[in-house]
Each structure stands twice: as structure tokens, then as C-alpha cells.
């Protein structure tokens, strides 16, 4: 078995509208094809309205686990936004967690209005490092914007995620999983996003 | 092909709980499904609408929940299986019909799925709809997993048909909106000609006779439930503690027992058929234990049922200790979680639990509290509602009589928060904004002089605002209603409604024109574009000050998310850095500090506004509010 513990817990978090739900669904479908029992839970209500959002993935060889991961039990984190990564680690982190971070911030209303500053991104990444066993990072939004649409950033992140060997994800599994879920007209772009994420991710 | 329509018995797929319910209904051979959207229920009918043509179903978004239940019931009366779905608030709307339908009974399987929202994550209350099962003597099923969501829905149709009584399925957010493995079964393709048997009138009268029949049906349901596979026990023969649970409580309880390594000490009795109680089964388990913990969402429904039953039988059972919501062991408001159940089991059985080093947990919380800003919900970038509330805020300020907004249910409910500039001061049920505003309008005779603006969305208008408007016209109230027409039921996932020209299944439908309806209901109607902020402000102010009677201002602008799916940006936005004067401008940073669209950014070092190109949808409104003309919009 590829996972060292059961259930293996993955959190994908970011800001409503960044596509964390789709990313978790694609990952869930890939793992289901490998024979695991998958549960995906989603924080709800904020999904498209700029709030902080999270998907919890439980991967087990035997039981259907609850859609909420107990505190302190995240094994692998995908943060689509830097401070959202830190927010999640505050509740679900532990010394063994491996984190992947999209370095591009999205400013909450209170930052835009100037009531409070957005923390320095390098400082945020350092703190994520302090709370993680390993940190991997890339500017997925920038890559997606280069491709012409920020909507691809979640697929860029999935590509980056696929470099973690325990997940055993390859381009073929990804292509199968997005079939019927994402528009087939944009298949080649999604595959490109996946590949670019895979190439761009770096360990910090 | 839709994931729920795969004709692949034996295949395991990843389904959302709501999709699993839809699949269960398909496997049960339903012909009609009717619903009004509402989270966390919307995807059940939403996913069925996508396969309706393929399976020859009638699937509709009805204008409200009561009509939806009536439509589904007609199918049952004529011998075809019918499904109706709604959220907890919807059941209140449907309840008048429902509490007569129990007496008339039904013919073919009729299932009402109600999705509750513990913690009110996307609702204005956290009502526990299970009360209606007791109120109306309906059999009640509660799925605990995704597989069960499918199996239970499918079986509910058989049960309903056997009893001649509608069956309630109560699900909750963490089952409906989560995803998990579901093993698919056969899809039947039945054809049957519907026929209403006129020798069997479906009426509630004579009430006492039908009430007696209803009680008999419920007793029979209780007998059937005694051997239901949806009720099972997992644990040792004589546990120190028995957890009795249902719905999402099952997965939390299991998680807690596994995490604390208590499988030799704690037993879990999972009940799927929660009303009427499978009494003999419960009795058998009560005999073996001294201490029972109830784990369920929102109200102590199962807890009270078991305790009532215990009171009848305590002579044979001896002393028991019951822990749950009533004892204060578990919180009686808000959502449960694995962590809550873990911590209560720890307290009760005195076991330790340390999933991570305490100093790490403390440090992680400290760092997060120090550096992570809050991220409250707000209107999306380019949302017409932000522009509308901006106009409302300015009009009410210019009016100067301490006016306010009477709110309603939809995305625009966020008008009570910062992104609607806190203008909304009442918020209750569908249509209640217009109803209350009509009531405030009657208070002028008593010296009430605050202007009131009711707001409602386009879908909400058809659902429940039409009676309020009719009432205001007939009773000569003074009312100003802003009808925020964004061409979709946006809050729940952009479902079509009678104003959109499309049915649930994507077919053409006649557009029921809002302007024409409002006029027919006696209102003076004006049209506006919320993106024309200045003109809208002036119109609102004029309508507040000049005119008596019932007035409707229809503010039409498509939802930015709907628009973004099919069309390009209206404008490319840019901030001319030389023209933006920053904090020195004197505008108090109107764009970012006051208007606060998430598509804007504020560069604290340069002291200038900017555009976040990953977020901005190019609506152009901020260009109109910038006094220095620094924000430029260029037609794409």
C-alpha cells in the first residue's frame, strides 16, 4: 500500500471560487479507481463567495470515514492560497504534514479596505515550513494567467501534487478522472496545466 | 453521460450524497421529480434534471415547495412513483399540504427528501425537520453513508407503496454535500400508463376514520423497521457504553471509537429507521447496558423517542444513565464533529487522546492567530448586488429619515453584512421582506416615518413575494420593492425559474414577465440597471420620497458567475497610477475602503489602488465611483 497510515487525510483549501471542490473531486476519482474507500467533505456556504473554503479527503483501504478530519490529523495539504494554508495548519497541522502552497495571495475584504495588512508572503511560507515536515511551492495562479485564465490554477496545483509519490498519480489517471467532470473542449489546456504544475513545483 | 445514469451494475463510483439519493430514485424507477432548490438539497433534483430526457422522466423546478410536493403527489395518485426534494425551511412551506396528505394516503411510492442544515451553514435556521415525522405520523429514514443514501431512497419507495403513505427521508449537510464510494445497482426501465382510480377518492375526510388508518400504517412501519438492515450494531456483546446514533452521527461515532481505540468497550447502535422507533430492537440493546450516549444532529429526536419508550418499559429495564443533548453532554446547538464526539467519549470513559504533540498544537494555533486575517463571505467580484446596495445606501443616506432594508432569502441576504454595507435589517423566510415592508407601510397612520425598502430576488419573487405584493396592493399599503433580477436562482446553483425561459431540463418555456406580473398585481413598475449606480440611486430616492402606494423597481443585471460561464468580460479594468491620489485624495479610498470589491487591491507601499486580474470580472462599476477618474474601463 502506498499510504503509511489509514485513513490518510488530505486537505485542499483556498478561497471560494478557486476550484478546491473540483480539485478534490478529481483527486478522489483517481484514488477511487485504485480501489480505495474515499470520503470527501467540504466546508460549505462560502464556496463561491470569497470565504475560506476547505475540502477534506479521507483515503482508506477499509472504512468509510467521516467527511470531517479530526483536528491535528492532516497528512497532506494543498493550499491554493498562502494564508489559507496557514489557517488550515493552525487547526489540522501536525509535525509530519507535507504542504504544497500556491504562493499567489488573494486579498480578503479587510485587507482591501486597509483595516489590516496582508502578511509578507515569504514570512507566511517560512511559518508554513516551521509547521510542516516539507513545503513545496509554486505560483500556480501566475502559470494559469500565462495560459490565459486563472481557472486553470487548481489543475496546475494538482499537477504539482502529483509529484508526491504516495498518491501515485500520473497524467493518464488524471485524464481519466477529469473525463465527464470538466469540459472536454478544454481537455488539452487542463492537461497542459497539470504538466506545467508538475514541472514548476519546487521544494523550499 | 451523467455519473448518476451509468448503466453499470456492480461498478463503484464516487457520488455526492445528493447524487446517491438521485441514483436511488432512478433505481426505484421514479417517473416524476419536483422540487424547489435550497441547500443542502439542490443537487438531488439538479442531477435528475440532467438525465430526465434520457430516462423519460418529468423533472421540474417548481415555484415553491408546496407546489412541488403536490406535483410529485399527483404522479403517485396516478400510479407513478414520485420524488420531492427540499431543504428544511421548504418543509414549512409544504407542510399545509403534507399534513392532509398523511390522511388521504398515496398510491405509488411517494418519497419526500428533506435536507437539514445543522449549524445553519447555508440557512437562516437549523430547524430539525424530523419533528414533521412525529407531527404527521410519517415513517422516517435517515441515511448515514453515501451508499445508504442510495439504498434507503430506493427502499423508501417500496415502503411507501406497501403502506400507502408518503415516506420522509431526512438527510443532513455532511451526508448530502459530502462524497464517497457508492456501488451501483440495476436501472429499471418501466413503462406504465398513469391512471387515477376514481373509485378511491384521495381526500382527508372522514378525518377520524383516516386518522385511525394512518395510525395503523405507522404501526405497521414500526413492525417492518424491527428487521431493517439500516439498523445495526457494531461492538462488543456487553459494552460499557452504548452509543445510539443516526445520520452523520454514525460516521463521527465510528471515527471517535477508532481514534480512542475503544472498540472493545463501546458499542454503536446505528438506527436508520428513526420514526417510528424499532422498539423491540432498541429494547434488546438497552437490556445489555447501563449507560447510553445519543449522537445525532440538531434536536434530541432519537434521544427523546428512546427515553419515552424507556419510561414505558423501565420496570423491566432497571436504572439507566442517558447522556446526550438533554443532559448537556453534547451541545444542543450547532453542528457535531468527530472532535466533539472524541472529547465526550474521553470524558465519559477517562481515556487519553493525543493525536499530536501539545506544544506543536499550541504553536500552530498561535502562528495562525497572529498572521492569518479573517476572510468573511461577501458578494463576488462584479456582483450586481454590491452595486445595488451601494445605490440603496446612498439613497437612504440622502433621504435622511433612518430608513432600512427589509431583506429576503438569496445571495442578497449578505446585504446585512459589510459587503452590502449593512443596510439589511430584517431577514426571515422566503417572501418575508415584502410581507414585512407591506406591514411597515400600514404604520404611517400611527406616525411611522422611516422609509422601508423591501428587496427580493427573481426566483424568490415567484416563490412567495407575489402574495405579499397582492396583499399590499389590495390593502393600500405603501411599499417599495426592489426586485433584484439576476436571471437565476443564484444562491443555490443557478437553477432556472419562470422568468428565465428555460425549464429544469433545459427546454424552452414561456417567460413569465416580472414587469407584467407586478403591474397586474397593482404596482407601479420601473426598470433599472444596478450598474448605473448614479441613476439607480436617484430613482430609489425619488420612489422613496415622491410616490405613495405600491412601487416595484426591477433592477436587472445577470449574476456575474452565470455571465462568466458563457461571456467575456464587459471591460478591461486598469488603475491609472498617476491619477490615483491614494490616501491624499480625500475620497477616503472609496473604491477599496468603502466599496470593497474583491477584484480591487490596495498597494500599501505605492499608496495606490490596483486591479487583481485573477479576480476582477470587468463589470466597470468601480470606474464610475472613482472621483479622480483614475479607474479606467476599456470595452473588451
For residue A83, the domain's CATH number is 3.40.920.10
Domain assignment present for residue B393? The answer is yes
pLDDT band at A44 (very low <50, low <70, confident <90, very high): low
Q: What local confidence, expressed as pLDDT, does residue A47 receive?
A: 55
Say whether both B304 and B204 belong to one domain: no
Q: Give the total number of structural domains in chain B.
A: 4
Say whether both B79 and B219 belong to one domain: yes
Residues of chain B contacting residue A121, judged by C-beta atoms under 8 Å apart: none
Say whether both B425 and B554 belong to one domain: yes
Residues of chain A contacting residue B375, judged by C-beta atoms under 8 Å apart: 15, 50-52, 84, 108-109
A55-94 residues touching B, CB cutoff 8 A: 63-73, 83-84, 86-87, 89-91, 93-94
Which CATH number characterizes residue B585's domain? Answer: 3.30.70.20
Q: Look at residue A45 and tell me whether its pLDDT is greater than 60.
A: no
The percent of residues above 90 in pLDDT, for chain B, comes to: 87
Domain assignment present for residue A165? The answer is yes
Pairwise CB contact (< 8 Å): A66 & B367: no
Query: Tens digits of per-residue pLDDT, B506-558?
Result: 999 999 999 999 999 999 999 999 989 899 999 999 999 976 899 999 999 99
- B414 at A interface, C-beta within 8 A: yes
Domain assignment present for residue B356? The answer is no
- B8 at A interface, C-beta within 8 A: no
Say whether both B251 and B122 belong to one domain: no
Q: How far is B507 from chain A (nearest CA, A)?
A: 21
Mean pLDDT, residues B414-438: 95
Q: Give the total number of structural domains in chain A.
A: 1
Say whether both B181 and B98 belong to one domain: yes
Domain assignment present for residue B487? The answer is yes
Cell 463521527, residue? B252
pLDDT band at B317 (very low <50, low <70, confident <90, very high): confident
Cell 474507500, residue? A37
Cell 479607474, residue? B631
Alpha carbon of B124 to those of B88, B176, B444: distances in Å? 10, 18, 29
What residue numbers bound the domain in which A155 lies?
8-203
Mean pLDDT, rounded, of chain B: 95
Which CATH number characterizes residue B167's domain? Answer: 3.40.50.970
A112-171 residues touching B, CB cutoff 8 A: 112-114, 116-119, 123-124, 127, 130-131, 141, 144-145, 150, 153
- B389 at A interface, C-beta within 8 A: no
Mean pLDDT, residues A146-171: 95
Going by C-alpha positions, the residue among B334, B503, B361, B409 that lies closest to residue B123 is B409
Pairwise CB contact (< 8 Å): B355 & A94: yes
Mean pLDDT, residues B105-126: 96
Domain assignment present for residue A59? The answer is yes
Domain assignment present for residue A146? The answer is yes
pLDDT band at A179 (very low <50, low <70, confident <90, very high): confident
- B418 at A interface, C-beta within 8 A: yes
Pairwise CB contact (< 8 Å): B180 & A71: no
Residue of B nearest to A36 (CA): B181
CB B14 within 8 Å of CB A29: yes
Q: What local confidence, expressed as pLDDT, does residue A157 receive?
A: 98
Cell 466597470, residue? B620
SS3 string of chain A? CCCCCCCEEEEEEEECCCCHHHHHHHHHHHHHHCCCEEEEEECCCCCCCCCEEEEEEEEECCCCCCCCCCCCCCCEEEECCHHHHHHHHHHHCCCCCEEEEECCCCCCHHHHCCCCCCCCHHHHHHHHHHCCCEEEEECHHHHHHHCCCHHHHHHHHHHHHCCCHHHCCCHHHHHHHHCCCCCHHHHHHHHHHHHHHHHHCEEC
Mean pLDDT, residues B425-451: 96
Pairwise CB contact (< 8 Å): A86 & B367: yes
Q: How far is B366 from chain A (nearest CA, A)?
A: 8
Say whether both B456 and B470 belong to one domain: yes
Say whether both B125 and B174 belong to one domain: yes
The percent of residues above 70 in pLDDT, for chain B, comes to: 100
Pairwise CB contact (< 8 Å): B411 & A89: no
- B635 at A interface, C-beta within 8 A: no
pLDDT band at A48 (very low <50, low <70, confident <90, very high): low
Query: Tens digits of per-residue pLDDT, A122-136?
Result: 999 999 999 999 999
Say whether both B581 and B554 belong to one domain: no
What residue numbers bound the domain in which B30 lies?
3-191+198-225
Say whether both B160 and B252 belong to one domain: no
Among the partner residues A38, A42, A49, nearest to B177 by beta-carbon distance: A42
- State phi, psi for B627 to the nearest 5 degrees: -70, -20
Say whether both B184 and B118 belong to one domain: yes
Q: Look at residue B161 and tell me whether its pLDDT is greater than 70.
A: yes
Domain assignment present for residue B359? The answer is no
Q: Look at residue A1 and tell me whether its pLDDT is greater than 50.
A: no
Domain assignment present for residue A1? The answer is no
Going by C-alpha positions, the residue among B392, B382, B396 that lies closest to residue B455 is B392
- pTM value is 0.97
Residue of B nearest to A66 (CA): B251
Helices and strands: H and E segment counts in chain B? 22, 24
pLDDT band at B492 (very low <50, low <70, confident <90, very high): confident
Q: How far is CA A139 from the centre of its chain?
A: 13
- B328 at A interface, C-beta within 8 A: no
Q: How far is A98 from chain B (nearest CA, A)?
A: 15
| Burial tier of B586 (Cβ tally within 10 Å: 0-12, 13-18, 19+) | exposed
Query: Tens digits of per-residue pLDDT, B602-622?
Result: 988 899 999 999 899 898 889
Domain assignment present for residue A168? The answer is yes
From B517, B542, B566, the end of a domain falls on B566
Domain assignment present for residue A37? The answer is yes
Q: Show Cβ contacts of residue B347 under 8 Å, excluding neighbours closer than 6 positions.
A: none
Mean pLDDT, residues B258-277: 98
Q: Look at residue B463 and tell me whether its pLDDT is greater than 90.
A: yes
Q: What local confidence, expressed as pLDDT, does residue A46 receive?
A: 53
Domain assignment present for residue A3? The answer is no
Chains A, B: CB pairs < 8 Å: 210
Say whether both B414 and B539 belong to one domain: yes
Amino acid at each position: 500500500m502506498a499510504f503509511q497510515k489509514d485513513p490518510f487525510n488530505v486537505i485542499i483549501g483556498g478561497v471560494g471560487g478557486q476550484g478546491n471542490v473540483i480539485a478534490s473531486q478529481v483527486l478522489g476519482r483517481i484514488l477511487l479507481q485504485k480501489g480505495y474507500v474515499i470520503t470527501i467533505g467540504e466546508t460549505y456556504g462560502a464556496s463561491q463567495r470569497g470565504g475560506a473554503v476547505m475540502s477534506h479527503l479521507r483515503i482508506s483501504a477499509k472504512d468509510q470515514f467521516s467527511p470531517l478530519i479530526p483536528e491535528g490529523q492532516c497528512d497532506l495539504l494543498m493550499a491554493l492560497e498562502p494564508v489559507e494554508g496557514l489557517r488550515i495548519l493552525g487547526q489540522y497541522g501536525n509535525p509530519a504534514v507535507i504542504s504544497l502552497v500556491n504562493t499567489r495571495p488573494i486579498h480578503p475584504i479587510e485587507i482591501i479596505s486597509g483595516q489590516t495588512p496582508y502578511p509578507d508572503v515569504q514570512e507566511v511560507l517560512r511559518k508554513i515550513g516551521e509547521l510542516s515536515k516539507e513545503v513545496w511551492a509554486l505560483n500556480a495562479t501566475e502559470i494559469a494567467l500565462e495560459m490565459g485564465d486563472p481557472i486553470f490554477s487548481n489543475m496546475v496545483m494538482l499537477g504539482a501534487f502529483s509529484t508526491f509519490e504516495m498518491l501515485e498519480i500520473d497524467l493518464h489517471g488524471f485524464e481519466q478522472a477529469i473525463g465527464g467532470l470538466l469540459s472536454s473542449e478544454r481537455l488539452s489546456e487542463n492537461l497542459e496545466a497539470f504538466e506545467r504544475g508538475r514541472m514548476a513545483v519546487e521544494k523550499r | 453521460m451523467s455519473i448518476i445514469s451509468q448503466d453499470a451494475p456492480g461498478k463503484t463510483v464516487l457520488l455526492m450524497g445528493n447524487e446517491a439519493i438521485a441514483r436511488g430514485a432512478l433505481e426505484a424507477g421514479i417517473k416524476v421529480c419536483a422540487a424547489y432548490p435550497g441547500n443542502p438539497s439542490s443537487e438531488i433534483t439538479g442531477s435528475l434534471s440532467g438525465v430526465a430526457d434520457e430516462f423519460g422522466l418529468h423533472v421540474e423546478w417548481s415555484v415553491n415547495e408546496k407546489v412541488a410536493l403536490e406535483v410529485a403527489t399527483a404522479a403517485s395518485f396516478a400510479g407513478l412513483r414520485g420524488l420531492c426534494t427540499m431543504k428544511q425551511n421548504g418543509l414549512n412551506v409544504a407542510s399545509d399540504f403534507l399534513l392532509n396528505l398523511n390522511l388521504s394516503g398515496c398510491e405509488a411510492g411517494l418519497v419526500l427528501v428533506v435536507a437539514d442544515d445543522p449549524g445553519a451553514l447555508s440557512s437562516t435556521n437549523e430547524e430539525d425537520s424530523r419533528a414533521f415525522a412525529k407531527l404527521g405520523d410519517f415513517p422516517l429514514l435517515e441515511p448515514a453513508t453515501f451508499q445508504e443514501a442510495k439504498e434507503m431512497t430506493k427502499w423508501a419507495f417500496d415502503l411507501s407503496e406497501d403502506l400507502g403513505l408518503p415516506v420522509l427521508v431526512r438527510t443532513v449537510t455532511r451526508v448530502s454535500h459530502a462524497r464517497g464510494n457508492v456501488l451501483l445497482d440495476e436501472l429499471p426501465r418501466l413503462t406504465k400508463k398513469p391512471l387515477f382510480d376514481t373509485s378511491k377518492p384521495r381526500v382527508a375526510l372522514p378525518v377520524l376514520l383516516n386518522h385511525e388508518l394512518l395510525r395503523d400504517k405507522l404501526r405497521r412501519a414500526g413492525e417492518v423497521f424491527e428487521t431493517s438492515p439500516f439498523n445495526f450494531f457494531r461492538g462488543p456483546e456487553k459494552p460499557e457504553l452504548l452509543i445510539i446514533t443516526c445520520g452523520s452521527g454514525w460516521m463521527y461515532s465510528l471515527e471517535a471509537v477508532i481514534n480512542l481505540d475503544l472498540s472493545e468497550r463501546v458499542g454503536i447502535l446505528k438506527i436508520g429507521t428513526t420514526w417510528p422507533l424499532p422498539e423491540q430492537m432498541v429494547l434488546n440493546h438497552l437490556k445489555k447496558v447501563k449507560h447510553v450516549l445519543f449522537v445525532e444532529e440538531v434536536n434530541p429526536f432519537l434521544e427523546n423517542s428512546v427515553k419515552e419508550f424507556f419510561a414505558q418499559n423501565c420496570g423491566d429495564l432497571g436504572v439507566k444513565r442517558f447522556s446526550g443533548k438533554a443532559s448537556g453532554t453534547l451541545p444542543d446547538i450547532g453542528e457535531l464533529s468527530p472532535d466533539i464526539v472524541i472529547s465526550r467519549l474521553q470524558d465519559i470513559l477517562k481515556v487519553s487522546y493525543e493525536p499530536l504533540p501539545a506544544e506543536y498544537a499550541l504553536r500552530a494555533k498561535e502562528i495562525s492567530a497572529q498572521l492569518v486575517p479573517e476572510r468573511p463571505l461577501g458578494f463576488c467580484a462584479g456582483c450586481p448586488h454590491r452595486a445595488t446596495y451601494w445605490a440603496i445606501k446612498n439613497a437612504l443616506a440622502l433621504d435622511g429619515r433612518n430608513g432600512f432594508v427589509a431583506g429576503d432569502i438569496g445571495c442578497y441576504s449578505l446585504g446585512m453584512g459589510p459587503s452590502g454595507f449593512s443596510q439589511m435589517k430584517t431577514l426571515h423566510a422566503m417572501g418575508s421582506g415584502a410581507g414585512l415592508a407591506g406591514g411597515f407601510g400600514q404604520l404611517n397612520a400611527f406616525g411611522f416615518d422611516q422609509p422601508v425598502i423591501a428587496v427580493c430576488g427573481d426566483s424568490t419573487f415567484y416563490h412567495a413575494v407575489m402574495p405579499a405584493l397582492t396583499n399590499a396592493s389590495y390593502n393600500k399599503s405603501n411599499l417599495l420593492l426592489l426586485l433584484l433580477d439576476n436571471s437565476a436562482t443564484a444562491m443555490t446553483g443557478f437553477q432556472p425559474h419562470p422568468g428565465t425561459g428555460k425549464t429544469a431540463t433545459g427546454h424552452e418555456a414561456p417567460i413569465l414577465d416580472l414587469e407584467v406580473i407586478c403591474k397586474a398585481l397593482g404596482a407601479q413598475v420601473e426598470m433599472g440597471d444596478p450598474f448605473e449606480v448614479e441613476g439607480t440611486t436617484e430613482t430609489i430616492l425619488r420612489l422613496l420620497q415622491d410616490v405613495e402606494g405600491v412601487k416595484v423597481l426591477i433592477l436587472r443585471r445577470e449574476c456575474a458567475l452565470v455571465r462568466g460561464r458563457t461571456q467575456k468580460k464587459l471591460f478591461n479594468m486598469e488603475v491609472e497610477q498617476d491619477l490615483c491620489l491614494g490616501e491624499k485624495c480625500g475620497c477616503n479610498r472609496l473604491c477599496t475602503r468603502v466599496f470593497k470589491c474583491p477584484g480591487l487591491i490596495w498597494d500599501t507601499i505605492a499608496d495606490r489602488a490596483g486591479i487583481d486580474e485573477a479576480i476582477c470580472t470587468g463589470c466597470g462599476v468601480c470606474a464610475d465611483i472613482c472621483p479622480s477618474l483614475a479607474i479606467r474601463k476599456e470595452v473588451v
